[in-house]
Amino acid sequence: MTKVKQRRAAARRTSGAERAKAGGVAPRALQARGVRGAKGSAKAASIPRQAVKSKRAGKATPARRSAKNVAAVHPRTVRVRELDPQAKCGQGTSVERLYRVDESVNGTNVAHLVFFDRHGLYCEHGRNCPAVDDVRRTHRNLDWTR
């Protein structure tokens, strides 16, 4: 073995505390615990280990954001417009009312067509689409008993 390899192997065998005593740089974990010889040991010795952990745990990270905070950052905006059913669906259509719902969520725009005919109120994406509820909220006077 060469001398360089022997020194590296010896450095791997020594612990961080031994390196700190020898005047080397101690790892951050030893600095936080206040091991003598660590950089800033007087300051690190006064901070208990639990306090160091609680500081890290209290930081808000993007992964920890709640759905409520995300909704506040990117609100859902909806615009409902009534269209002429004969012009869009043809002269022989059974559609009595036709609505276009422009929805914007997180910067993504989606257009919905909501129909009202003998089958009731439904969207082109299905009956459970949120655009159907938006039309119900904006046009409460619509006859739903058919």
CB 35 within 8 A of CB 17: yes
In the prediction, which pLDDT does 57 show? 57
The tens digit of pLDDT for each residue in 59-108 reads 555 555 566 665 566 688 999 999 999 999 999 999 999 999 999 988 89
In the prediction, which pLDDT does 71 show? 55
Cα–Cα distance, 14 to 37 (Å, whole number): 15
In the prediction, which pLDDT does 24 show? 59
Q: What is the reported pTM?
A: 0.48
What integer best gives the mean pLDDT of the chain?
A: 75
In the prediction, which pLDDT does 111 show? 95
Lowest-confidence range among 9-18, 47-56, 110-119, 127-136? 47-56
Cα–Cα distance, 44 to 49 (Å, whole number): 9
Distances (CA, A) of 45 to 26, 51, 57, 84, 136: 14, 12, 20, 76, 65
